């Protein structure tokens, strides 16, 4: 039925969007480098350490939240909000 989505189809859709955004950011970084300037990744603008962002991108959201809390001293809610945006 149109407009009905299950968890698996939504997860697949969001995973595809995440990959597309990663690709777009890589291209923007490349273009900026070619133009002699820098491009700040969204995760770095949010103060998310690279290892935490990598965990989140790999699908280990809980591991990313745990590492974020270890590194920053954030609360569970702060970590959840930071990782949800990646």
Model confidence at 1: pLDDT above 60: no
Domain residues for the domain of 54 are 40-86
In the prediction, which pLDDT does 69 show? 94
Q: Do 11 and 31 share a structural domain? A: yes
The pair phi, psi for residue 4, each rounded to 5°, is: -105, 130
Q: Do 12 and 49 share a structural domain? A: no
Q: Do 69 and 45 share a structural domain? A: yes
Say if pTM beats, i.e. exceeds, 0.75. Answer: no
In the prediction, which pLDDT does 76 show? 94
Q: For residue range 24-59, list pLDDT tens digits in order.
A: 888 998 999 999 988 877 666 677 888 898 898 888
What are the respective helix, strand and coil percentages of the chain, to the nearest 5? 70, 0, 30
The arithmetic mean of pLDDT across residues 7-26, rounded, is: 85
Average pLDDT score, the chain: 85
């Amino acid at each position: 039925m149109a407009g009905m989505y299950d968890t698996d189809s939504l997860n697949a859709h969001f995973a595809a969007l995440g990959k597309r955004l990663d690709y777009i950011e890589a291209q923007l970084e490349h273009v900026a480098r070619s133009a002699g300037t820098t491009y700040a990744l969204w995760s770095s603008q949010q103060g998310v350490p690279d290892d935490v962002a990598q965990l989140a991108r790999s699908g280990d959201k809980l591991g990313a939240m745990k590492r974020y809390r270890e590194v920053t001293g954030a609360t569970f809610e702060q970590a959840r909000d930071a990782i949800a945006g990646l």
